[in-house]
Amino acid sequence: MVRRHLLPRGLTDRRVLAAMASVPREHFVPPELMDRAYADLPLPIPRRQTISQPYIVALMTFEAGLGRNSRVLEVGTGTGYHTAVLAKIAFHVWSVERLEDLSNSAERRLKELGVDNVTLIVGDGALGHPGAAPYDAIVVTAASPAAPQPLLAQLAGYGRLVIPVGDRIEQMLRIYQNTTHEIRQWTAGPCRFVPLVSPVAFDAEV
Contact footprint for ligand SAH (CB under 6 A)? 49-52, 75-76, 78-79, 81-82, 96-99, 102, 124-126, 141-142, 194, 196-198
Nearest by Cα to 63 from 167, 179, 159, 142: 159
In the complex, what is the shortest distance from the CB of residue 196 to ligand SAH, in angstroms, rounded to a whole number? 4
In the complex, what is the shortest distance from the CB of residue 59 to ligand SAH, in angstroms, rounded to a whole number? 13
Grouping H, G, I as helix, E, B as strand and the rest as coil, residue 142 is coil
Q: At what angle do helices 54-63 and 14-22 cross, to 10 degrees?
A: 140
**Nearer residue to ligand SAH within complex by CB, 130 or 157:** 130
In the complex, what is the shortest distance from the CB of residue 45 to ligand SAH, in angstroms, rounded to a whole number? 6
> 122-141: buried (b, 16+ CB within 10 Å) or exposed (e) per residue?
eebbbbbbeeebbbbbbbbb
List helix spans (H) across 90-197. Answer: 100-112, 149-153
> What does DSSP assign to residue 32?
G
Question: How many other β-carbons are positioned within 10 Å of the β-carbon of residue 41?
Answer: 15
In the complex, what is the shortest distance from the CB of residue 105 to ligand SAH, in angstroms, rounded to a whole number? 10
CB 51 within 8 A of CB 124: no
Q: Give the whole-angstrom CA distance, residue 29 versus residue 15.
A: 23
In the complex, what is the shortest distance from the CB of residue 82 to ligand SAH, in angstroms, rounded to a whole number? 4
**Nearer residue to ligand SAH within complex by CB, 17 or 197:** 197
Which residues are part of the catalytic machinery?
A: 52
φ, ψ for residue 171 (rounded to 5)? -145, 165
